[in-house]
Structure 1
Amino acid sequence: MTEHAHTHAVPESGKRLAIVILLNFTITAAEIIGGLISGSLSLLSDALHNFSDGIAVIIAWIAIRLSLRPRSEKHTFGLKRAQVLAAVINAGALIAISIYLFVEAWQRFIEPQAIGGVVMTAVATIGLVANVIGTWLLHRGSKQNMNLKAAYLHLFSDAISSIGVILGGLAITFWNVYWIDPVLTVLIGLYVLKESLMIVWRSLHMFMLAAPDSLSLSEVREAVLGVTGVESIHHIHLWEVAENDIHFEAHIEVPDQPLHDAESIRHAIEKTLHDRFEITHVTLQVEPVGGECSTAALP
C-alpha cells in the first residue's frame, strides 16, 4: 500500500473506530447498570473490560494519527513508537483492572451474594451483539494495520467474555449456581492479565531495541553472506523502530572494487533482506577486504 493510499485509509478507519468507541461505551453503561441491578460481578468485570477497550481504541486511534506525522529535526524517526507507547498504557490499565477483579472475586467467594440471572443474561446478550458488530466493523481494517488488529482482537475477546457471562447467567437462573459468577470473573481476569503481560513484554523488547522474535539473526547474517561479492559481515544490529518497521545495519567487507560495483552489492543485500525478512530499512558500511574497520573497538 502506498503512503498516499494509506493516508486516505485513515479517515475511513477513523469513522469505524468512532462507531466502535460509541458501541463500547454504550455497552459499558448498560453492563454497569445491569451489574448493579443483578449483583453480578462477572457482568461488572465485563463492563470494565469493555470500558478499557473503549479507552484502548481511543488511544489506538490517537497513536495512529501521531505515527503518521512526518519526521522532523527533533524526531528523526517520526512518532512511529507512539503506537508502542499506547500499547504499554493500555496493557498497564488492563493489568490494574485484572488485579481489581481478582480482589472482588475473592470477596464474593467469601461472602456469596444472590444474583439476578435473568438481568445478567439479558444485558450480556446485548453486549455480545454490540461486540459482534464492533468486530465486524474493524475486521477489514485489521488485515492492513496491526494497531487496528489489536483493537479488533480486543473486541473479539469481549465477545467471548460476553458468551461466558451469558452461560453463567443461564446457570444462575436455572440452577442457582451463584459461585459461577466469581469463577467467571477470575477466568476473564486471567485472560486479560495474560494478554496484557504479553503486550508489555513485546513492547519492552521493542523499547530495548531487541531483534524481532520472528527473525533469526543467524539466518539474516547467512542471507547477507550469500549475496555475491560479500566476503564477511560484522557489527550487525537488528531492531524494530515500530511494529512492521524493522531496521538493519552492519559493516560488510567486499573485494576492492569501483564504487559502482560496491553499490550494486548493497542494492542486492537490501532486496534480499526486504524480500526474505521484510526488513524495511537497511544501512550498510562497505569496507574493503582486509581493511581496517573504523569502529573495530566497538562491540
Structure 2
Amino acid sequence: MRPSQSHDNSQKNLFFSIILNIVITVSQVIGGFVSGSLALLSDALHNFTDVVSLIISYVASKFSAKSATSDKTFGYKRAEIMAAFVNSASLIIIAIILIKESIVHFLNPRTINSDLVIWLSALAIVGNGLSVLLLLKDRKSNMNLASAYFHLLTDMMASVAVLAGGLLMKFYSVYWIDSVLTFAIAVYLIFVGIKLFKNSFQVLMLYTPSDIDIESIVTKINSLPLVKNMHHVHIWQLNEFELHLEAEIDFEEDITLSKFDKLLVEIEGILLKDYGINHITIQPEFNKSDNKNIIVQD
C-alpha cells in the first residue's frame, strides 16, 4: 500500500470514530437527563472530550499536508496545543461541577432508570470498542493517532464501570452507586485535565521542556574544538513533535564559513541524538562584545 493510501485510510478510520463518538455522546446526554443518572452524564462528558480530541487529530492530519506561508511561517502547528489548552480548562471546570452534584445526589439519592443506563453504557462500550479496533493498526506508526487510541480505550473502560453500576441499580436498587461512579469519573477527568492543562500551558508559554538540561547542553557544546562560549540560549517546544533551540556561539578563532558549517553539522548531530532537538539556529561570533550569560532576557 502506498503511503498516501495508508494516510487516506487512517483519516477514514478517524472520521468513522468521530461519527461513532458523536452518536454515543448525544445518546448519553439525552439518556442521562431522562434517566436522572449523573454517571451517564459524566461518561458523556468523557466521550465529548474524546470527540474533541479526535476532531483535533483529524484536523491536524488534514492540515499536516499544508505548507507554511509568508504570513503563517509555522503553518497551523500550534492549533492542536491551543485546542488542548481550552479543552483541558473547560474539562476541569465541568468535572468540579459534577463532583459537587454527585455529593448532593449521594446525600439525597433518587430513583434512576437503570435500564436506560445499562443500554446506553453498553452502546458506548460497543462504539468505543469499534473505534479502538479502527485505530489499533495505525497507532503503531502515528503518535497523533496513538493519542486518540488511548483516549478511546480509557473511555471504554469508564463505560464498563457505568454498565456495572447500572446492573447494581437494576438488580439490587443500589442507587447511591451512581453518585460514587460520577465522583470517581470526575476525579479522573480532573487528573487528566490538569496534566493536559499543565503540558499545553508550558508549551504555549515557551517553557524549556522539563527533561532538557540547558547547563548540560552548554557544557557539551563548549567542549568542542574552537568553541569558546555558547550563550544566549533559548529552548522551546513548538508542538508535540518539534523542539527548537537558538543560541549564540563565540569562537576561539575567526573561522571561515565552511569551517563553521562543518562544526554546525556536528552540533546539530549532538543536539538531535542526545536531547531530541530537531530545529537549531546558531549565530556565530568572534570577539563580539555582548552578554555571555547562558540565559539572556531579550
Q: Is the pair's TM-score, using the shorter chain for normalization, greater than 0.5?
A: yes
What's 1:271 paired with?
Answer: 269
Match for 2:288 among 267, 289, 292?
A: 292
Separation in 2, partners of 1:262, 1:28: 57
The question of whether the paired residues in 2 share the 8 Å contact of 1:24 and 1:54 is answered with yes
Q: Paired residue for 1:205?
A: 202
Alpha carbons of structure 1 residues 204 and 81: separation in structure 2 relative to 1, 3 Å: same
- 1:210 counterpart letter in structure 2: Y
Gaps of 5+ in 1: none
Mapping of residues 33-182 of structure 1, within 5 Å: 33-182=30-179
Q: Deviations over 1:98-140 (max 9, x none)?
A: 1332233233123211123344223212211221221222233
* CA distance in structure 1 between the partners assigned to 2:80 and 2:269 by the alignment: 27
Unaligned ranges ≥5, structure 2: none
**Structure 2 SS opposite 1:282:** strand
Judged with a 3 Å threshold, the aligned counterparts in structure 2 of structure 1 residues 241 and 68 are, in CA distance, closer, same or farther, namely: farther
* One-letter amino acid matched to 1:121: I
Is 1:187 matched with 2:178? no
* TM-score of the aligned structures, taking structure 2 as reference length: 0.88
Q: CA deviation at 1:9?
A: 5.1
Structure 1 residues 59 and 241: CA distance shift in structure 2, 3 A:
same
Which letter maps to 1:60? Answer: S
Matched residue pairs, number?
293
Secondary structure at the aligned position of 1:56 is classed as: helix
Alignment CA distance shift 1:136-1:213 (3 Å): farther
SS in 2 for 1:242: coil
Query: What one-letter code is carried by the residue in structure 2 that aligns with 1:222?
Result: T
Contact 1:287 1:293 in 2 (8 A): no
CA separation in 1, counterparts of 2:243 and 2:249?
19
Partner of residue 22, structure 1: 19
- 1:261 is matched with 259
Partner of 1:283: 281
- What is the TM-score when the length of structure 1 is the normalising length? 0.87
1:147: how far off? 3.3
Cα deviations across residues 49-79 of structure 1 (Å, max 9, x unaligned)?
2133223322332244345422211122222
Separation in 2, partners of 1:227, 1:141: 42
Shift of 1:189: 0.9
Partner secondary structure for residue 184 of structure 1: helix
More off after superposition, 214-223 vs 233-242: 214-223
Identity %: 34
CA contact (8 A) 2:229 2:292 kept: no
Residues 33 and 61 (structure 1 numbering): CA distance in 2 closer, same or farther, change over 3 Å? same
Is the partner of 1:231 in helix, strand or coil? strand
The whole-number CA distance in structure 2 between the counterparts of 1:262 and 1:128 is 59
Change in 2 beyond 3 A, CA 1:262/1:36 = closer
Return the match for 1:242 from 239, 242, 249.
Answer: 239
Query: For residues 224 and 110 of structure 1, what CA distance do their matches in structure 2 show?
Result: 63
**Structure 1 9/250 Cα, relative in aligned 2: closer, same or farther at 3 Å?**
farther
Amino acid in the other structure paired with 2:88? A
Whether the 8 Å contact between 2:11 and 2:61 is mirrored in structure 1 is no
* RMSD of aligned residue pairs (Cα, Å): 2.4
User: What per-residue deviation string (whole Å, max 9, x for no partner) do you get for residues 258-285 of structure 1?
Assistant: 3322221111001111122221111111
Change (3 A) 1:96 1:138: farther
Q: Secondary structure at the match of 2:165?
A: helix
